[in-house]
Every structure is written in structure tokens, then in C-alpha cells.
């Protein structure tokens, strides 16, 4: 029996005008509706004081795709589409949410993670916004106070990255129909823990300890829009 199950948890869904921003793979392929809430202002890292202004929290669309064919439905794809607002040049990078946990979907700033329980840092996976690069959170010793020499830091997951050249059509098929192909088509045994990016780049990643694979698409730089995809077993409940 064919089946398509799309679960959408949407913080804010936005329609963009420019051609780059209009290229919204996740929205175009989502056929179900879900609750939409305005939860951004109260999230960690949001609304930090700046003279006459505030740090606004990014807009996040979280979606789960289960392949329509039973034969391939043992693996599903978790996706996050993150759109950061325009921040003034004098904004401190400490307060801009950049570190994503692929375990629970939380996006946090360095300021929040350094001022809360170390476990929040240990659950973190990758940095997306900071320095226009993707970086494994477990090697961010200069930015994350609890990423070294705190109880449990050794359990932080290591992520390797590799540049890739997959067409958007092919990527859409991987996400919606064959998430297992993120593993089968991982380009090489990469050892890059960080990579600079530009608009239009596609980066594949491997979470080594968990043996999970996924990808990161840089949809736009202005505004900064990044889509993250993670292929996991159908009964996956977290790391």
C-alpha cells in the first residue's frame, strides 16, 4: 500500500519574492497542513537588547517526509528550513541563533548555550550561520564554553562535511522518496569538520558516531535561508 505521511511543525511560514528565495523545496513538496504558531520571540537567543532594536529569532519550518513506497519507507527524512532576519552590522554574533541540535531541532545562540546547563551544548550538532560556514559543534571550543572539559562533553557528536553537486530535482527525490540515498551517495570519506559556503552550495554530512547522513542547502544569503536534511530510521526517537 502506497502511503505519504507529511508532518509539518511550522513556527512561521513565509512567502519570498525573489527567485532565490522562492525556491522553497520543502513548502512545494508538503501536502499536509499543521499548526502554525508565533513562537519565535520567546526562543533562546531571541529579543536580546540592542540600542533601540531587538534580536529577532529566525523563522523555522520543520517537516518530516516518509517515502510513499513501502519498500523504501524504512528510512524517513527530517528537514528544517531556517530563515534568519536581517541583522544590523553591529549586532553581536553571540546573540544570533546559529547552533542547531539535530536531536531535538532547537536552534540556539552562543550566549544562550554558554549561560545554561551544559547538556544543551552537548545536545548541539552543527553551527549554520556563524562566519558563513557549517561547523561541527563539538570542535567549537572558542565559542561554546561547555564543548570541552565539562561532564559529558565527550558524548558530543562529530560531524564531517563534504561539498557536493546534486541537482535540486535529485535532492527532492532523496528527501521525499529515497532518504537512504544520502548514505549511498555520500561523496567520500570526508574529514572536514567545517566548510565555508556561498549561496547555491549543497553540502553533505556524516554524523560519524551515529552513522547518520544528511545534507545542507544554502538557499539564499540575503536573507540567509538554509535547509537541513537528516535521514533517519523510520522508528528513530533521537540520538
- CA–CA distances in Å: residue 164 to residues 74, 128, 197, 203: 25, 17, 12, 5
Question: Contact 83/227 with Cβ under 8 angstroms?
Answer: no
- Convert the pLDDT of each residue in 157-216 to its tens digit: 999 999 999 999 999 999 999 999 999 999 877 789 999 999 999 999 999 999 999 999
Helix (H) or strand (E) holding 29: helix 25-29
- CA–CA distances in Å: residue 167 to residues 10, 187, 202: 26, 14, 9
Bridge-based pairing state of the strands 99-100 and 107-108: antiparallel
- Tens-digit pLDDT profile for the chain (239 aa)? 433 333 433 333 332 323 344 455 555 444 332 222 233 444 444 445 545 556 778 999 999 999 998 999 999 999 999 999 988 887 889 989 999 999 999 999 999 999 999 999 999 999 999 999 999 999 999 999 999 989 989 999 999 999 999 999 999 999 999 999 999 999 877 789 999 999 999 999 999 999 999 999 999 999 999 999 999 999 998 88
Task: Determine the Cα–Cα distance for residues 76 and 236; give it in Å rounded to an integer.
Answer: 9
Closest by CA to 105, choosing from 133, 121, 125, 129, is 125
Amino acid at each position: 500500500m502506497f502511503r505519504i505521511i507529511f508532518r509539518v511543525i511550522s513556527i512561521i511560514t513565509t512567502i519570498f519574492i525573489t527567485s532565490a528565495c522562492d525556491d522553497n523545496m520543502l513548502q512545494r513538496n508538503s501536502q499536509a497542513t499543521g499548526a502554525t504558531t508565533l513562537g519565535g520571540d520567546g526562543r533562546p537567543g531571541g529579543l536580546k537588547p540592542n540600542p533601540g532594536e531587538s534580536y529577532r529569532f529566525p523563522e523555522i519550518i520543520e517537516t518530516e517526509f516518509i517515502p510513499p513506497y513501502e519498500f523504501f519507507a524504512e528510512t524517513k527524512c527530517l528537514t528544517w528550513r531556517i530563515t534568519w532576519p536581517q541583522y544590523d552590522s553591529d549586532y553581536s554574533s553571540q546573540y544570533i541563533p546559529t547552533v542547531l541540535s539535530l536531536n531535538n531541532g532547537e536552534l540556539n545562540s552562543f550566549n544562550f548555550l554558554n549561560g545554561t546547563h551544559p547538556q544543551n551544548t552537548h545536545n548541539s550538532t552543527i553551527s549554520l550561520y556563524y562566519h558563513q560556514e557549517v561547523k561541527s559543534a563539538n570542535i567549537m571550543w572558542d565559542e561554546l564554553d561547555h564543548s570541552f572539559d565539562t561532564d559529558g562533553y565527550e558524548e558530543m557528536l562529530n560531524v564531517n562535511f563534504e561539498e557536493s553537486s546534486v541537482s535540486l530535482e535529485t535532492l527532492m527525490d532523496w528527501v521525499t522518496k529515497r532518504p537512504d540515498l544520502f548514505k549511498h551517495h555520500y561523496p567520500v570519506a570526508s574529514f572536514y569538520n567545517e566548510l565555508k559556503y556561498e549561496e547555491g552550495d549543497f553540502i553533505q554530512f556524516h554524523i560519524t558516531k551515529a552513522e547518520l547522513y544528511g545534507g545542507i542547502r544554502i538557499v539564499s544569503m540575503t536573507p540567509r535561508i538554509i535547509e537541513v536534511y537528516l535521514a533517519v530510521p523510520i522508528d528513530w526517537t533521537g540520538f
